[in-house]
Chain A
Amino acid sequence: MSRQKQFNAVGKPLAHDSSLLHTMGSARYIDDLPEPVGTLHVYIAQSPHAHAGLLSLDLEPVKRANGVVAVLSAADIPGVNDCSPVMGDDPIFATDEVLFHGQSLFAVAAENIDSARAAAALAIAEWEVRDAILDIDQALAAESFVLEDRQMGRGDVDTSLASSPETLSGLLRIGGQDHFYLEGQVAVAQCGEQDEVHVISSTQHPTEVQHNVAKMLGVADHQVTVEVRRMGGAFGGKETQGALFACVAALVARATGRPAKVRLDRDDDMRMTGKRHDFRVDYRVGFDQQGTIQALDVEQATRCGMSADLSAAIADRAMFHADNVYYLPVVQIRSKRCLTHTVSNTAFRGFGGPQGMLAMEQIIQHIATHLQLDPLEVRRRNLYGASPRDITPYDMPVTDFVADQLLTELEASSDYVARRQDIALFNAESPYQKRGLAMTPVKFGISFTTTHLNQAGALLHVYADGSVMINHGGTEMGQGLYTKVAQIVADALGVSLQRIKITSTRTDKVPNTSATAASSGTDMNGMAALNAARTIRDRLANLFAQRHDVDAQSIVFKDGQVSAGDFSETFEELVKAAYFARVSLSSTGFYATPDIHYDPVSMSGRPFYYFAYGVALSEVIIDTLTGEYRVERVDVLHDVGKSINPALDKGQVMGGFIQGMGWLTTEELWWDSSGRLRTHAPSTYKIPTAGDVPEHFNVQLWERGENTEDTVHRSKAVGEPPLMLAISVLQALQDAVMAVDQHHTPISLESPATPERVLLAVEKLQAAEQQ
């Protein structure tokens, strides 16, 4: 933001590169771009049923409507009618059967969106409505699965449970979550010569959009260029979900020869796109009198929706996080992936990890309540430790464990013990309001568990005037990836941040990229960019060594100068010299995460390069008459390794926490009995507001943090892990509810813990007490 030259940029709390443009409204999102002449506006008609056969579809009245230029359905697709990431099971347009309410049927392209929308309603369809499976319990009963069951673990769980001094069993229901990115799904497509198509898409995964558009049009990948400068939020909701809209825009452009824009309004966006998976977790746990777990059996059933999408990897990640920070000597984790007649659920910040972890924290609290121990005690007893207590259920040793240190430090800095006592006193004196407190840790595995995705590329140009342009495969969705990568490049070349131009992500600059997902954006693209910068630096250093007859190893790039001993040149001078000396000033960079390996059949290996850790303490107050509550205070200590940009990292921690809090408190997805989502706009779907932020919100990055692995500048990924810190809010709410009967009865508060669920839980305890 600052106009001043910023040298040594790595490690500084610099503002997001677009921050002032954001505030001025001049940062351009796709719908803000000037529309090319003749742009058509496209409305996608949707299924009115959750499950039905499409007996006939008459589109003639739609075609005849005012302003309509083209009406396109499955028959008009020249290539493959599919926009799925992996499995080939996400039709662009439904053909003879619809599998969820809101599924796309056909597209209407018109001179303006009102005409397109109005015309779409004129289609005449004949339906045969079929029985629909809408939720996890129905799917389990009907044995309706989209993918095979999976299982991981070690030892004989039944025997160990039988020999455990104490056993408990329980069931936890965990709700889904809509991404509610502020910018809805949008794509603009324009045809070039012959088979060329240029698509501007709000996507985290330009390469996959490119592949899907090419596959749909029946052309080679090199005909399709996908571009994105920035998204107005994504959170996983634009990892696969943008493909449909990009494909439809490209199809209209191809069919009409005119530019085409697909922009969803909020209601259509929420109805048509996938969400965080909801889960039902059943468990049996065996432990001793001190609360040390001896055996755990967990079954995770999740609603995938009507297709696979990314559910395999998401459900896997839920399994990988079923342990959270705890050593489970004998363990069995089973996963059931339910097929339902609802929108296909998809990636969402945490990617299954939050649900797996939440169940584990619930199990800990269940044990603690049963044994009448402070849950923090039980947590501490079960932490990973020295060998043999360092092996995860997937056989990976935890070698970088710091959750114990974080817990101890936060316990002291947050005054946990005294506050626990104060709260007990308050609750004893307060008949109608109860306070609750909970400290929960997070351990989150970093890497795509699909190993081949852990690769990234970058393209670095230095122009003859010394200005630098960096491009990489990562996308900017607000997380500040572009800023961090620019910091890394500036630092590597010893130039000011202002010399680095960051440009939009394009498939024609860096090919075969992975999604910007799994928190890996900086780890991978930062490293790829660093490798590109090192190549350029080495070439420049060699030239400098020749020009001044010095050892290339002794050359330093710093503060815009290149120097060795008494010799010094400005970066510009050296670049200019390189140009005249015919030295290439452009380089690619590549990175593949080392040392990871994983056998998907046995579900064992080292799927993660390292772990990110954090701890949060939440304090809440509930009104036992209404179930309403406030989150009064939150203390967070989070490990980001050596931060490349503490301001951006802190932003991720705070934002992730509040988003996680929304998931577990007020964000309720509600489908009616016919499978229609009825919470499809902010009027009915309630994400946190400024008023919901805890009055005291103390967020600290762990000063001693340093990645033990050789990541870029020893930093750690930060996109997803903080979301799970909000599990402390749900646990604190549960703690407050249990205060109603002095913590005698364990409860399992379903999430989101709306005021309704809190009140019903309170009254259940009160009713039991009166009996």
Chain B
Amino acid sequence: MRDALRFIFNGELQEITELAPHTTVLRWLRESVRATGSKEGCAEGDCGACTLIVAELKDDQICYRAINSCIALLASLDGKALITVESLSDTPESAHPVQLAMAEHHGSQCGFCTPGFIMSMVAHVQSDQPPSPRDTLAGNLCRCTGYTPILEALDSVDVQAARAHTGFMQQQLEKKLKDLNQTDDLLFSGEEGTFFSPANAASLGEFLVEQPDAQLVAGGTDVGLWVTKQGKRFNTLVAMNRVEDLRHVRELGGWLEIGAAATYSEAQVALSAWHPSLNNLLRRIGSTQIRNSGTVVGNIANGSPIGDMPPALIALGATLEIAHGDDLREVRLQDYFIDYGRQDIKPGEYLRSVRIPPMSKGNIFGSYKISKRFEQDISAVAAAFWVDVSPEGNVVNMRACFGGMAAIPKRAATVENTLMGLPWNADSARLAAEQLAQDFNPLSDWRASAEYRLKVAKNLLIKFALESQGMDLNLYHDATACSETPS
């Protein structure tokens, strides 16, 4: 057991033994280190002005991820390298190619968001499989430029030259990260609380059995908000992000299993390959920065009625693996959500993984999200449909699940029953959609009125039926969309 937090900050090893566990990376940078290049624009991971890069070794390769430092806990950096805008260049003469491109294309006006954009762009050029430029930058808000010059700047960057610029730093970094090689548990305690960062599931399980009241934090994209927005403090925080044996995304007996520590980004390729409809959904979950931190299982664990992923996973028939120490139990995901703020989980337990069953021939699936803005918005309504159609074209089985329509992600039982046995087409969908008000009585709030929620939920079922019969009604195409429906 180690009691010092250790990470690399702009090339230098940092060892910290006294730290309030809730300290965010951004506050540490701006207030303790006085590195003020990273800005606070919102303190909730929505504007990207605080974006910086976290690097770590994965299969002996350095992997660079842009994250929102305003809601990331400093303690979550254990064993990793933190790279801020200050490390890219000391003088204008030595500017990084991305910085030069941004200036040459007039990509900054007021400049406040610019360092965050620069870091997203540097992570983009360092990545072997970056998302499209628009997807890369959707988590960085700019109020001045209208983005076009920034997109042009990113487009103009010579990736090889950009990588060469950081090449020297990179070689050193690789060695330093290897030297760190932290595979032990970290535990530090102080006046402001205890932070435990286990390196494996056994340690995690054991600790939680002993301290069932400890707060778990995985990506921190939710817990970080409690800190910055509600001023919440914790007696004990337990980090999931270093639990290496829960970080997997793998196929097992035809099922797809996503471990509790796997981020959205780590699961994105596998999920998109599982069904292309999920790719569109995943592109709309948070932003690149959020997906680089947030975990699929965390999005389930917090029990939110407006989580983006649960409706899709419930429609797919996913199950949850729940652990208490070494004991495991499995529940259907749809049964995990009991009521608002109440889930099927007991003290000392934690979610180990979510498992998605294979699709069979005749299965059709589609997932949808409705929000005011395409990128980086919270669902007004999320919907996902799985239908099993007989060779004759009739509905044999159906799962229609909605988010934002009730206190929990919930299936539309009446709608499903209405569809049973009917021919699978838009007319049947229209008929069944009329029953939706039997299943849901949604709220009005700032995201949508009850009237809209109900109307659009109905229409999504109709849209799914139309799309499943070959109509392309997608307004949100992505040049990098992948793979076909498995059958």
Given the complex, which residues of B lie within 8 Å of A25, measured CB to CB? 36-38, 84-86, 114-115, 118
Q: Which residues of A contact B (CB under 8 A)?
A: 1, 3, 13, 15-16, 18-29, 31-32, 34, 114, 117-118, 179-184, 230-235, 265-267, 432-433, 477-480, 621, 623, 625-630, 647-648, 650-651, 654-659, 666, 668, 670, 678-679, 681-684, 686-693, 697, 699, 754-756, 759-760, 763
**CB pair B95 A183 closer than 8 Å:** no
**CB pair B375 A689 closer than 8 Å:** yes
State A28–B375 Cα separation when bound (angstroms). 30
Q: Of B112, B151, B466, which contacts A233 at CB under 8 A?
A: B112
Q: Which B residues, 108 to 145, have Cβ-Cβ distances below 8 Å to chain A?
A: 108-115, 118, 133-135, 137-145
Given the complex, which residues of A lie within 8 Å of B115, measured CB to CB? 22-25
From A480, which residue of chain B is reached at the shortest CB distance? Answer: B109
From B90, which residue of chain A is reached at the shortest CB distance? Answer: A24
**In the assembled complex, how far is the CB of residue A13 from the closest CB belonging to chain B, in whole angstroms?**
8
With A20-B103, A183-B39 in contact, is A686–B377 under 8 Å at CB?
A: yes
**CB pair A16 B112 closer than 8 Å:** no
**In the assembled complex, how far is the CB of residue B466 from the closest CB belonging to chain A, in whole angstroms?**
7
Given the complex, which residues of B lie within 8 Å of A117, measured CB to CB? 231
**CB pair B373 A693 closer than 8 Å:** no
Most buried by B among A231, A232, A627, A697: A232
**CB pair B43 A628 closer than 8 Å:** no
With A16-B108, A27-B111, A759-B456 in contact, is A265–B43 under 8 Å at CB?
A: yes
From A478, which residue of chain B is reached at the shortest CB distance? Answer: B110
Given the complex, which residues of A lie within 8 Å of B368, measured CB to CB? 626
- B178 beta carbon closer than 8 Å to chain A: no
**CB pair A20 B92 closer than 8 Å:** yes
With A19-B102, A477-B110 in contact, is A432–B471 under 8 Å at CB?
A: yes
**CB pair A691 B462 closer than 8 Å:** no
**CB pair A681 B42 closer than 8 Å:** yes
State A692–B138 Cα separation when bound (angstroms). 9
**CB pair A22 B473 closer than 8 Å:** no
Q: Which 8 A-B pairs have the closest CB atoms?
A: A25-B37, A478-B110, A232-B112, A22-B111, A658-B146, A478-B109, A682-B46, A670-B446
- B439 beta carbon closer than 8 Å to chain A: no
**CB pair A32 B95 closer than 8 Å:** no
Given the complex, which residues of B lie within 8 Å of A267, measured CB to CB? 229
**CB pair B372 A693 closer than 8 Å:** no
State A627–B88 Cα separation when bound (angstroms). 43
Given the complex, which residues of B lie within 8 Å of A760, measured CB to CB? 451-452, 455
What would 28 A/B residue contacts be, using CB atoms closer than 8 Å?
A: A13-B106, A19-B111, A22-B111, A22-B115, A25-B86, A25-B115, A31-B40, A180-B141, A181-B110, A182-B41, A182-B141, A182-B142, A183-B41, A266-B47, A432-B466, A478-B110, A625-B463, A626-B460, A628-B374, A647-B106, A654-B149, A658-B147, A686-B372, A686-B377, A688-B146, A691-B135, A697-B146, A697-B148
Chain B, interface SS category: loop
**CB pair A182 B110 closer than 8 Å:** yes
- B378 beta carbon closer than 8 Å to chain A: yes
With A24-B85, A24-B92, A626-B459 in contact, is A266–B43 under 8 Å at CB?
A: yes
State A651–B106 Cα separation when bound (angstroms). 7
From A653, which residue of chain B is reached at the shortest CB distance? Answer: B146
**CB pair B445 A655 closer than 8 Å:** no
With A19-B108, A433-B473, A692-B374 in contact, is A687–B452 under 8 Å at CB?
A: no
Q: Of B107, B110, B137, which contacts A183 at CB under 8 A?
A: B110
**CB pair A232 B375 closer than 8 Å:** no
**CB pair A690 B138 closer than 8 Å:** yes
With A24-B37, A668-B446, A691-B375 in contact, is A626–B145 under 8 Å at CB?
A: no
State A657–B451 Cα separation when bound (angstroms). 31
- B271 beta carbon closer than 8 Å to chain A: no
Q: Which B residues, 405 to 448, have Cβ-Cβ distances below 8 Å to chain A?
A: 445-448
**CB pair A666 B373 closer than 8 Å:** yes
**CB pair B103 A654 closer than 8 Å:** no
Given the complex, which residues of A lie within 8 Å of B110, measured CB to CB? 181-183, 230-234, 477-478
**CB pair A21 B92 closer than 8 Å:** yes
**In the assembled complex, how far is the CB of residue B23 from the closest CB belonging to chain A, in whole angstroms?**
11
**CB pair B148 A23 closer than 8 Å:** no
Given the complex, which residues of B lie within 8 Å of A16, measured CB to CB? 103, 106, 108-109, 111
Given the complex, which residues of B lie within 8 Å of A18, measured CB to CB? 108, 111
State A243–B349 Cα separation when bound (angstroms). 52
**CB pair B373 A692 closer than 8 Å:** yes
State A16–B103 Cα separation when bound (angstroms). 8
